[in-house]
Amino acid sequence: MEHSYESVLDAVGHTPLIRLTRVTEGISAPVYLKAEFLNPGGSVKDRAARHMVAAAERDGTLRPGGVIVEGTSGNTGIGLAIVAAQRGYRAIVVVPDKTSTDKLAVLRAYGAEVVVTPGGLPREHPEHVSQLARRIAEQTPGGWFANQYDNPANPQAHVDTTGPEIWAQTGGRVTHYVAGIGTGGTVSGAGAHLKGVSDGRVRVIGADPEHSTYGGGDGSPYYVESIGHYLHPDTAEDVWPQSYHTGVLDAVERIGDREAITVTRALARQEGLLVGASAGAAVAAALRVARGLGPDDLVVVLAPDSGRNYLSKYFDDDWLLRNGFLDGDRTRPVLGDLLAGAPAPAVVPATASTAQAREEFDRTGAEVALVVLGRTSAAPLRAAGDVVGALRRDSLKGDSLDGDSIEPLIAPALPAAGIGEPVDAALARIEGDWFAVLADGRVRAVLPRPA
Ligand SMILES: Cc1ncc(COP(=O)(O)O)c(C=O)c1O
């Protein structure tokens, strides 16, 4: 029986390649998208989940009646929940608190138990998603920590399935393989296979958010989920996952949030392909690469999951406007019109002394400073996610000593609005006498509420 499977696990993979025909205008090299959102759990992660569990069963670390534990905000948890359901295991998934309620509902629908922990913690923190998952696995009888970041069965899933599929589907004509780098399993596993079968001819390109440390960014927060490497400023050492084999890659393309989101939306509206922004970033990278290629080349770009997971983000105009990713309709004044002559915002690390804060106020002439997590190699504009509070110049007055920490003086972070938001609408929404204006999710200016 063709396309009939003995269980849902056998239905993982075998995803089609779909040629892009409109976003590729002006490009002569064919570009095909590997539609991983068609996996049973809705993402490429079903492959890694199935492989990791199979390997653990083989080596005896996961035994009948055992408990699968993983720390993840998303798709790997769903893949593991499916495998657990089908194979008769308990699954416990530790998620950061910002995870959407829809995702939690999906995990629970498959019968997984969900443990919520604060997000944005340094990697060494005992409550960090991975640390907590590891501890739960250790303390639960029969517990097994899947650990996609360092589990060799994760990249191996792509050596064994994704890579061979791409080679067979293109009849060995693939010349370039492009995929986002999260744990690195997808790009380095399939990449290693394609390099091997082609005698090194296939070029492997990773797509990485501009601020991620993989491609040389400072690790500050970005908006494209599930790829890249965020670095908490308190993290002592920037450790990369063992699932990421950097030697397999020929190049890393750094993609800004705005470009990734723009391509994501174009894929839905021009190609009829509703994919997530990690796919948008990968396609953006693929288009860059393809522009320099000819008709004898063939690019395959991998789309990890569906845009349905992000309807309230990348496909929601209000969300885009509020975070500074849309320029507004220009029929009425927008916040960007107020920025002429606005100085770069004053920035004070949360650990600063009052003397250091005073210096920054004197240097910038600002009345209100952003209080940020200490990050030494920061990009010129601060990521909204790095801003933890506000400090007013006038709060430094009085008898405070210059050696003192600013800590007791830190006020809650300012309300924020996007650069393309109409002025009247933004002011109706935000409260307070000062506010931050975001462009591409970064603070472009701090402004007083206009009279
Ligand atoms: C939506 C999405 N994109 C990209 C990735 C990155 O894949 P990998 O971890 O194999 O690098 C993931 C992984 O969780 C994902 O869920």
Q: For position 179, which CATH number holds?
A: 3.40.50.1100
CA 330 – ligand 1 centroid, Å: 36
* Six-digit token string for 395: 């709060």
Average pLDDT over residues 154-161: 98
Is the CB of 185 inside a 6 Å radius of any atom of ligand 1?
A: yes
Residue-level pLDDT at 377:
58
Q: Tell me whether strands 387-392 and 299-303 are parallel, antiparallel or unpaired.
A: unpaired
CA 367 – ligand 1 centroid, Å: 42
Average pLDDT over residues 256-270: 98
Residues 6+ apart with CB under 8 A from 382: 220, 345, 347, 370, 372, 442, 443
Long-range CB contacts (within 8 A, 24+) of 129-137: 129/71, 129/72, 129/73, 129/94, 129/95, 129/96, 130/71, 131/71, 132/71, 132/94, 133/69, 133/70, 133/71, 133/92, 133/94, 134/69, 134/71, 136/69, 136/92, 136/94, 137/67, 137/69
Decide: 230 and 222 in contact? Cβ < 8 Å: yes
Ligand 1 atom showing the smallest separation from residue 75 Cα: 16
Out of 72, 80, 227, 246, mutate this one to test ligand 1's pocket (max ligand atoms within 8 Å of CB): namely 227
Q: Do 381 and 260 share a structural domain?
A: no
CA 392 – ligand 1 centroid, Å: 41
Out of 162, 186, 229, 310, mutate this one to test ligand 1's pocket (max ligand atoms within 8 Å of CB): namely 186
Q: Do 333 and 304 share a structural domain?
A: no
Residue 311 has pLDDT above 60, yes or no: yes
Average pLDDT over residues 313-318: 96
Determine, yes or no, domain membership for 118: yes
Q: Do 437 and 289 share a structural domain?
A: no
Ligand 1 atom showing the smallest separation from residue 181 Cα: 11
Residue 446 has pLDDT above 70, yes or no: yes
* Six-digit token string for 246: 């950097």
Determine, yes or no, domain membership for 320: no
* Six-digit token string for 328: 């507004």
Determine, yes or no, domain membership for 322: no
Residue-level pLDDT at 378:
60
Determine, yes or no, domain membership for 383: yes
98 a catalytic residue: no
pLDDT band at 316 (very low <50, low <70, confident <90, very high): very high
Average pLDDT over residues 4-32: 98
Decide: 128 and 117 in contact? Cβ < 8 Å: yes
Residue where a domain stops, chosen among 262, 290, 315:
315
Ligand 1 atom showing the smallest separation from residue 186 Cα: 10
On average, the pLDDT of the chain sits at 94
Ligand 1 atom showing the smallest separation from residue 48 Cα: 10
pLDDT band at 450 (very low <50, low <70, confident <90, very high): confident
Is the CB of 440 inside a 6 Å radius of any atom of ligand 1?
A: no
Q: Do 172 and 261 share a structural domain?
A: yes
CA 423 – ligand 1 centroid, Å: 38
Q: Do 297 and 341 share a structural domain?
A: no
Which residue do the tokens 């997984």 mark? 112
266 three-state secondary structure: helix
Residue-level pLDDT at 275:
98
Determine, yes or no, domain membership for 108: yes
CA 227 – ligand 1 centroid, Å: 6
How large a percentage of the chain has pLDDT more than 90? 87
Average pLDDT over residues 197-221: 96
Q: Do 41 and 118 share a structural domain?
A: yes
Residue-level pLDDT at 237:
87
CA 103 – ligand 1 centroid, Å: 15
Q: Do 310 and 356 share a structural domain?
A: no
Residue 31 has pLDDT above 70, yes or no: yes
Out of 38, 39, 43, mutate this one to test ligand 1's pocket (max ligand atoms within 8 Å of CB): namely 43
pLDDT band at 212 (very low <50, low <70, confident <90, very high): very high
Residue where a domain stops, chosen among 315, 350, 366:
315
Average pLDDT over residues 348-357: 92
Decide: 445 and 436 in contact? Cβ < 8 Å: yes
Decide: 253 and 208 in contact? Cβ < 8 Å: yes
Is the CB of 181 inside a 6 Å radius of any atom of ligand 1?
A: yes
Residue-level pLDDT at 123:
84
Determine, yes or no, domain membership for 205: yes
Residue where a domain stops, chosen among 284, 315, 346:
315
Residue 410 has pLDDT above 70, yes or no: yes
Residue-level pLDDT at 92:
98
CA 116 – ligand 1 centroid, Å: 20
CB atoms near residue 384 (< 10 Å): 20
Residues 6+ apart with CB under 8 A from 37: 43, 274, 275, 276, 279, 303, 304, 305, 306
Q: Do 304 and 186 share a structural domain?
A: yes
Q: Do 301 and 348 share a structural domain?
A: no
Is the CB of 227 inside a 6 Å radius of any atom of ligand 1?
A: yes
Q: Do 424 and 288 share a structural domain?
A: no
Instruction: Provide the domain limits for residue 284.
Output: 1-315
Q: Do 268 and 152 share a structural domain?
A: yes
Residue 399 has pLDDT above 60, yes or no: no
Ligand 1 atom showing the smallest separation from residue 185 Cα: 10
pLDDT band at 376 (very low <50, low <70, confident <90, very high): low
Least confident of 96-110, 182-196, 307-321: 96-110
Q: Write down the catalytic residue from 34, 45, 103, 195.
A: 45
pTM to 2 decimals? 0.96
Residue 25 has pLDDT above 70, yes or no: yes
Determine, yes or no, domain membership for 196: yes
Determine, yes or no, domain membership for 324: no
243 three-state secondary structure: coil
Distance CA 105, CA 299 (A): 36
Q: Ligand 1 atom 12: the closest Cα is on which residue?
A: 226
Count how many Cα atoms sit within 13 Å of the Cα of residue 3 in the half-sphere of its side chain. 3
Q: Which residue has the higher pLDDT, 191 or 329?
A: 191
Residue 397 has pLDDT above 80, yes or no: no
User: Total domain count for the chain?
Assistant: 2
CATH of the domain at 408: 3.10.580.10
Distance CA 384, CA 2 (A): 51
Residue 401 has pLDDT above 80, yes or no: no
Q: Do 272 and 150 share a structural domain?
A: yes
